[in-house]
Amino acid sequence: MGQSATRVTDSSALKNQRTALVMLVTSAFALPLMLSAVNVALPAMALDLKMNAVLLSWVPLAFLTASAASVLAFGRLADMVGRKRIFTLGTVGLLITSVLLALAPNAETLLALRVLQAVTAAMLYATQVSILSSIYPPDKRGAAIGVLVSSVYFGLTCGPVIGGWLVEHLSWRATFVAHVPLTLLVLLFGLPRVKGEWKAEHRGSFDWTGAALYAGSIVSLMWGGSTLPTFKGIALMGLGALGLAVFFRHQHAKTDPLFDVSLFYTNRVFTLSSIAALLMYATTYSTLVLMSLYLQFLKGLTPTQAGMIMLAQPLVSAVMSPLAGRLSDRIEPRVIASLGMGITGFGLLLLAQLEAATSLGHVITCLVITGFGFSLFSSPNSNAIMGAVDKRHYGVAGSAVATMRVLGQLASMGLVASAFALIIGPVAIEPSTYPKLAKAIDLSFLVAASLCLPGIACSLARGKLRPDQSIAQGHL
């Protein structure tokens, strides 16, 4: 009788795990599909809404800034009120804001709605990994995270192709709702079938002061970065950095912090894994943007041709991430992640040597190398972060993964903007400026490759995660 009940319980838990994984994978695929499709639609959007270059740059930047500023708060709220509940609110909010964006009458309205869309997306960023970690046991968590990461890159792979078709045959507005059918499946069929709710045992209180301080600091940093090298930009970035330092001290003194920074003082694996993630995203996020400029301006390819070549990197990451996740369940994550960052750095160093005469075969090889390296890093590193904390910290740790990703993406684009400002300046990209464009692209890749060195150091220095290995060596 007892064994029968146990089998039923195990069967129910397994079914719930699979249902949750399908739901989260669908959500994780749909959002980047929409984001990358919208990026393809930027030129058509600028023409229709009469957006200048500065306003147009804020379409992706507003999303990154707002999601980075709010994801930490939603990680804490998820621990307080329930991770599934926050995920549900984010899914509903994403649907509403996406439809409104497709109907935006002017640029100002579109940017305001883009901020709201980013806030709802942050609810998903903060809960996807933490829900998986709440449902899956430690020995299966890495494989599940690997599948989740893979779905993100399949979304990034499909987005440009779908977005190009929508822009050509319908309108740029259709790209904002490209993900709606999949998101409706998550809301109507996925969420009702996932049983249970997960949150911290101790609810505590929400730190509104900390949330405002953190969000303000992020906005100040990004606003300042977009106006460099002016004095205003430098001052805003300095104010943002100071705000983050104050936020860190404020959190350390709180009983119920927005983000438990004591983890950074007491948990070496968590701290160094988070820093490694920040550096990895800072090195890789701008790769496809740089390749788009290189292939279309310096190689003279059409957008469709360039898009097909650019598929190489996210496609390799999508295919290899589940394997890397499974490996991290069996092999020390720091080994796989460090190897992945090293391979990525090598690929970026090769990209820093690109010239107009470089063969397309060489370009594709470089993209495959960087995509393979990233796949070896991402899933094992996320597994290391989640495996380094107690269950009560899963929401915070999940939001830390998302925060490091978004902050790294912002830093990546900031480095590119700085390189372009220093070498090209505020002029139009035309044949006379192509040599400077080539130098700016090479410099961006070189700086990105150099950031892999401290990333490898952090990844190797984090220590071992496997308790059985520590015990076997006598470290109890």
Rounded Cα distance between 470 and 5, Å, is 35
Range 349-362 average pLDDT: 91
Q: What is the pTM of this model?
A: 0.73
3 state SS of 209 = helix
Backbone φ, ψ for residue 106 (5° rounding): -150, 175
Instruction: Say what the pLDDT of residue 342 is.
Output: 94
Confidence of residue 341 (pLDDT cuts 50, 70, 90): very high
pLDDT value of residue 6: 40
pLDDT in tens, 264-321: 777 788 888 888 888 998 898 778 778 877 886 788 877 677 777 877 888 888 788 7
Residue with tokens 């990026």: 39
What is the spatial distance between Cα 176 and Cα 38, in angstroms, rounded to a whole number?
6
Ranking 70-74, 126-130, 263-267 by mean pLDDT, the lowest is 263-267
The dihedral over CA atoms of 444, 447, 453, 455, expressed in degrees to the nearest 10, equals -60
Determine the pLDDT at residue 426.
Answer: 64
Given a contact cutoff of 8 angstroms between Cβ atoms, the answer to whether 283 and 377 are in contact is: no
Residue 179, CA distances (Å) to 175, 185, 206, 322 in order = 8, 10, 32, 23
Q: Using 50, 70 and 90 to split pLDDT, how confident is the model at 9?
A: low
CA distances from 422 to 78, 170, 318, 444 (A): 42, 39, 35, 11
The mean per-residue pLDDT over the stretch 69-95 comes to 88
Kindly state the average pLDDT of the residues 113-120.
94
Structure tokens at 362: 């060489």
pLDDT at 156 over 70: yes
Q: Which of 190-199, 322-331, 404-413, 420-429 has the lowest mean pLDDT?
A: 420-429
Burial class from Cβ neighbours inside 10 Å (0-12, 13-18, 19+) for residue 289 reads middle
Q: Residue 261: its pLDDT value, please? A: 73
For residue 4, pLDDT beyond 50: no
3-state SS string over 364-407?
A: HHHHHHHHHHHHHHHHHHHHHHHHCCCHHHHHHHHHHHHHHHHH
User: Above pLDDT 70, what percent of the chain?
Assistant: 87
pLDDT of 313: 84
CA distance 181 to 169: 19
User: Is the predicted pLDDT of residue 10 greater than 60, yes or no?
Assistant: yes
Give me the CATH code for the 259-463 domain, please: 1.20.1250.20
Architecture of domain 1-191: Up-down Bundle (1.20)
pLDDT at 19: 82
What is the pLDDT, as a whole number, of residue 220?
A: 87
**Segments in 137-230 forming alpha helices (H):** 138-169, 180-185, 208-226
pLDDT of residue 84: 87
- Which pLDDT value is given to residue 71? 84
Give CA separation, 323 vs 26, 92, 317, in Å.
19, 32, 10
pLDDT tens digits, 443-465: 989 999 999 999 999 888 876 65
CA torsion through residues 127, 129, 130, 133, sign? positive
Portion of the chain with pLDDT greater than 90, in percent: 21
| Residue 155, pLDDT above cutoff 70 | yes
User: Residue 455 carries which side chain, given as an amino acid letter?
Assistant: G
Q: Check residue 394 and give its pLDDT.
A: 66
Q: Regarding predicted confidence, which is higher, 396 or 288?
A: 288
